[in-house]
Structures are given as C-alpha cells and as structure tokens.
Amino acid sequence: MKLQEALHKLKEQGVRLTPQRQEVLRILIEEAGGEEHLSAEEIWRLVRKRYASISFDTIYRTLNLFVRCGLASELDFPDGCRRFEFAGNGHHHHLVCLKCGRAEELAFCPEDCLIRAQFEKPGFKITGHAFKIYGYCPKCQQVSDGSSHHS
Amino acid sequence: MKLQEALHKLKEQGVRLTPQRQEVLRILIEEAGGEEHLSAEEIWRLVRKRYASISFDTIYRTLNLFVRCGLASELDFPDGCRRFEFAGNGHHHHLVCLKCGRAEELAFCPEDCLIRAQFEKPGFKITGHAFKIYGYCPKCQQVSDGSSHHS
DNA sequence: TCCTAGATCAGAATTATTCCTATGTACCAG
DNA sequence: CTGGTACATAGGAATAATTCTGATCTAGGA
C-alpha cells in the first residue's frame, strides 16, 4: 500500500519516522484520498484527533520536509493559503473554483510547452511547471452570485 | 499613449482619478515597462518618491481596484508575496527563477488545453488560467548553489 | 464654489508561516 | 536491551503580507 511505500522512501532518505510525521503522511494519503487538497490548518485539525498536542510548527515543518523529499506537492490556490497533496498519484494540474476553492484534477498537461520554453529561453534550467485553470464549478454557478459578481 | 488610455478606461468605469491612483498606474506602465513584476512594497517605494505620505493600504486598495477593473494582473510567484503587472500588454505566461524570483514572459500559451478542459469537465465555467514554468535563470546557475541544492 | 460619496492616512488587527528554546525521542552503537 | 545524542517537538513569540478601523480629506458633479 502507498503509505508503506512512502514511509520506506522517507527512511531511505535518512529521515526519522516520528509518529507525527507518519500521521501527517497517512492523512495526506488516506483522508485526502486524491479528492481534497488540504490546507495546513485542515491537516492540523485532522492530526490533532490522534495527537492532540501537535503544534502548527510541526505541521509546517513536516509538510515542507515532505515537499523536499518529493512526497508532497504544494499548491497555491488563490484563497490566501497553501494547500498540500500527496505526490504519489502522478503528475497533474488543476481546475480551481474561484468561489469555493475546491480543485479538480486534470488528466492532461501542457508539457509540449516546456520544449517550446526551452527553445525560446535556452539558458534557463527548467525544473518544474504549474498549470491552473480558474472558473466556477457547477455548484457555485447555481448560487446567485457565483457567475454575476464583478468585484 | 497607454497611460491616457488606461486613465480613460478607469473614468468610464466611474472610478475616481486621484493623484495616488494615477501615480500607481503610471508606475505600473512606465517604471515597470513590461520588464519587471513589482511587489506591493516595490510599488510603494516608487510612489513615495512623489507622494511621500502614501500608505500601504492605499497601494493595496489601488492595486486590487486595478485588478477588478482589468487594468492590472496579479501574479503569485513562490517568494511569498503577490506581484502586479499592467494588463495592457497582452496575455502571456511566465518563466520564473526559483532563486532570484525574476520572471520572464513567454510568447506562447497552452490555450488548446482550455478546450480540452471544457470537454473533460463540461459544467465548469472557465474564466481564466495561469501557466508558470519554474527553474533557474542563467545568472543564478552560475552562483554555486543555484543548481545543486535539494531544499 | 459647495457638498458629499468615496478616498486617504496612520496605525492597529488579522492571518499564514517561521523562529526560538527548552524538552522529548528515534535510532544507532555497544 | 540500553544509553547517548543528534535531531524533532511543543508552545509561544516573531515576522511579514495584507486588510480593517475611524478620523480626516478631496474629486468631481450640482
């Protein structure tokens, strides 16, 4: 199962497997289940169920560690806080609702653009990319101001 | 000239033309000149040259106003603060250096992806999109740790 | 020129994230 | 299995970007 693989990957990199780290990882994989993109605060709330005294600092340090180790991806949606997802479900991009903040995953990726970029700016060493499409999800279009407010 | 057009556009929308707003707009157009992507603080510093007592609040309110009016675009680069650019130079995307934070503009856009997204998620009302390529610019690759740190 | 809705200023408040330091613990060597 | 230590954690303070508040000012129409 994914959690075991991920724990193994951490160990390989010489990272200590504290119970807090394991629980954060478990939540990223199981609670989020490829469906939600959790903010640090949401993760903190979930971890607190088992580790009532875990600090915000530990959540952030752990998430940043996971990002560095390639186990998590950081998503900056336009609602003021970073969100995180497990990185073991393959590379993908997002369709983000500007009202409710929820994100759906997209099955395609503009990777041909990387080649074009490499051609256009030869000296630049490309390490990653992000593609986001913004708009309003079906649910938020039904609510009165989902599609009609200009502010 | 662009500044006049932009001021006219603001007036059309019933927005008051205060000297502070005109100066912020002038800076976005002239000082930035399609080359830099300015943070609120950088803009504040530049406006202070002429309006020494302008407040941060006014800068932010003005920039948010310009974004709402379609005169400015908001860019969230991964260095912790939003940056702004004049929106009258056409639609484009960015190649962002992870070390120095500088961004270059790209001449192409993965717009065909929007059609694919529309096909894949029919109920979603698309209003915009963002594409960013990350990496290290030639200058930052020369500095020792530009290409070799894993953090 | 006068009035007033809306803008500005100054600083306090808010929010996300990181830093600090004393204490706790994972895990390697013995 | 046990002890030592390098690294992790908790808790709270610090930082930094952005927004709010309330008093004062002003752009632009009458």
**Structural domains of chain A ordered from first start:** 1-89 (1.10.10.10), 91-151 (3.30.1490.190)
| B142 CB and strand D closer than 7 A | no
Q: Which residues of chain A make contact with B126, given a CB cutoff of 8 A?
A: 95, 133-135
Global confidence as pTM: 0.87
Distance from C-alpha of B106 to C-alpha of A26, rounded to nearest angstrom: 39
The token pair that represents A78 in the structure block: 């336009």
Which helix or strand (DSSP H or E) is residue A2 part of?
A: helix A2-12
| A39 CB and strand C closer than 7 A | yes
Condensed to tens digits (0 to 9), the pLDDT of residues A33-88 reads: 556 799 999 999 999 999 999 999 999 999 999 999 999 999 888 777 899 999 98
Cα A121 → chain centroid: 28
The whole-number pLDDT of residue B51 equals 95
Nearest to B71 by CA among B114, B13, B115: B13
Partner-chain contact B126 A107, CB within 8 Å:
no
DSSP string, A83-111: EEEEGGG---EEEEETTT--EEEES---T
Q: pLDDT band at residue A107, thresholds of 50, 70 and 90?
A: very high
Q: What's chain A's length in residues?
A: 151
**Residues of chain B falling short of pLDDT 70:** 1, 32-35, 143-151
The token pair that represents B1 in the structure block: 């000239």
The integer distance in angstroms from the CA atom of A86 to the C1' atom of D6 is 28
Q: Considering all CA atoms of chain B, what is the largest pairwise distance in Å, rounded to the nearest integer?
A: 53
The integer distance in angstroms from the CA atom of B8 to the C1' atom of C8 is 22
CA dihedral B99, B100, B101, B107 (to 10 degrees): -100
Check if the beta carbon of residue A81 is closer than 8 Å to that of residue B107.
no
The whole-number pLDDT of residue B32 equals 65
DSSP 8-class letter at B71:
S
SS3 of residue B103 by DSSP: strand
Q: In the predicted model, is pLDDT for residue A99 greater than 70?
A: yes
Distance from C-alpha of B79 to C-alpha of A76, rounded to nearest angstrom: 11
Q: pLDDT band at residue A143, thresholds of 50, 70 and 90?
A: low
Q: What's chain B's length in residues?
A: 151
Condensed to tens digits (0 to 9), the pLDDT of residues B68-111 reads: 999 999 988 877 789 999 998 889 999 998 888 888 999 999 99
Query: Taken in order B136, A103, A132, B59, is the CA torsion positive or negative?
Result: negative
Nearest Cα of chain A lies from the Cα of B49 at a distance, in angstroms, of 30
Q: pLDDT band at residue A142, thresholds of 50, 70 and 90?
A: confident
Contacts 24+ apart (CB under 8 A), B97-103: B97/A124, B97/B135, B97/B136, B97/B137, B97/B140, B98/A127, B98/B134, B98/B135, B98/B136, B98/B140, B99/B136, B99/B137, B99/B140, B99/B143, B99/B146, B100/B137, B100/B139, B100/B140, B101/B77, B102/B137, B103/B37, B103/B75, B103/B77
Q: In the predicted model, is pLDDT for residue A150 greater than 60?
A: no
The integer distance in angstroms from the CA atom of B29 to the C1' atom of D5 is 58
Q: pLDDT band at residue A146, thresholds of 50, 70 and 90?
A: very low
Task: Provide Rg for chain B, Cα atoms.
Answer: 18
The whole-number pLDDT of residue A32 equals 65
The whole-number pLDDT of residue B143 equals 63
Distance from C-alpha of B93 to C-alpha of A131, rounded to nearest angstrom: 10
Nearest Cα of chain B lies from the Cα of A107 at a distance, in angstroms, of 8
Nearest to B123 by CA among A102, A35, A129: A102
